[in-house]
Structure 1
């Protein structure tokens, strides 16, 4: 018998009845359609409905995915496909990246149960939360993880930490569902949403362009290293949308001033 306290459903677009707001599952560069279908099935088992694919290695619609979903068609029917990760994060405020490998990106590493509790609290504050999963063979790249607020880990046998994509989605979704509060979490009275991940990434790209213009990095290797460091710094700051706009405005003014000075120097020397 279902707990009536959990049946606080509301209708989303498409007429889907849900248990309330839930995270977005984002599969980055999935290679096998069957894995997408089984991931959708795992999501629906635990009340998560929104699925996004980034640069999948197969065409869509796909019969293999539909068969593997075993009836979770409503998740696949609402699924969105994006060409790159930043565009898939256009409305995501808080992002957790799943990986079993240690990373030197100076990000918090949290177990799935801790992430689930934090995600519930973030959604209560009005955040759009994303759970990010990498490609089946290679997982997530460092520049993809750099966009996340924290790394989500699933405690498994350290001598064999390999999980397939659907298993990772299922365990993460299970922890989310298991910690679903029986009563809604009361939001703080003064809520300021952080900027969407895509906005932070665009700021990073604009900053990198200007640093390239003044040959800040000197070598390609230094550029790769510093690019990750800078993006991690920006993500850690937790900018609001207005702060991102201010930062972009400052960057634009500095760039214009530099270019005007360079033009003036060239004309004076002519």
Structure 2
């Protein structure tokens, strides 16, 4: 059974990647939205342990938003032991403390560990997610060697199944995918201006400000020029923005020359106090 349009062209990534194991999921829609979350994070392998309403369920495909191929490839298992029998490591999400001595990771820590297990060691790892109502039971956790707990608001830590999968899928993608820098400037068709281009513009700006009389206050002139330079150097000005600013200065300069009036005849600038009456 598949979705109406075949869904997105999803396929497992090269090498080992974590297996998502949904233990006794209760609603087909939750399985579908969990598959959608997996697709967002580049996860493909889905295993279901004793789904309450059986499998397959067409409602899961409708809820998956195109993650059909993940659902098509999902396998069904009678027990947790059977679902993880071929795995080297098993992690389990656990929202409440249990009376066991066992390593506990945050989602980010678990993702780093999964990268080491799957990409570094080439081993197979599974992550257990419990049923929506009560989570994993002690017998389920007995198959895990590591617990995963999300550091959320302690006053309200309730997550639905897809949200829980999404958090781990997001952290896995960020840990395993190293092509996207944590921060970048979107410049589209232009690029960040060089310091030389910026200095050339600032030198011209200062010349025009001198010509207009803006910098006539000699005791404050050096500080005013420094402030202008700090202002422009503080951000990532693009070459297109520099060209635009050159155009602005050109038009202001032409306007000043066209007016041909003395500074005393001009109205006060917004940053100047109006002259006192004589």
Band the TM-score falls in, shorter-chain normalisation: 0.5 to 0.7
Shift of residue 99 of structure 1? 1.3
2:169: which partner in 1?
A: 173
TM-score w.r.t. structure 2 length? 0.59
SS of the equivalent of 1:120 reads: helix
Shift of residue 60 of structure 1? 2.0
Shift of residue 17 of structure 1? 5.6
1:128: which partner in 2?
A: 124
SS of the equivalent of 1:179 reads: helix
1:140: which partner in 2?
A: 136
Could you list the runs of 5+ residues in structure 2 that have no partner in the other structure?
Answer: 1-8, 180-278
Contact 1:50 1:78 (8 Å CA) reproduced: yes
1:32: which partner in 2?
A: 27
Give the alignment of 1:102-121 within 5 angstroms: 102-121=97-116
User: Matched residues in 2 for 1:15 and 1:119: separation?
Assistant: 21
1:137-185 deviations in whole A, cap 9, x for unaligned?
01001121121111101111101111110000000110011111539xx
Q: Does 1:101 align with 2:121?
A: no
Q: Specify the structure having the higher radius of gyration (Cα).
A: 2
User: Matched residues in 2 for 1:88 and 1:59: separation?
Assistant: 16
TM-score w.r.t. structure 1 length? 0.60
Q: 1:132 to 1:15 in 2, by over 3 A?
A: closer
SS of the equivalent of 1:57 reads: coil
Q: Does 1:62 align with 2:27?
A: no
Q: Give RMSD over aligned pairs.
A: 1.7
Aligned length: 170
Q: Does 1:150 align with 2:154?
A: no
Contact 2:33 2:60 (8 Å CA) reproduced: yes
Could you list the runs of 5+ residues in structure 1 that have no partner in the other structure?
Answer: 1-13, 184-270
SS of the equivalent of 1:151 reads: strand
Give the alignment of 1:210-229 within 5 angstroms: none
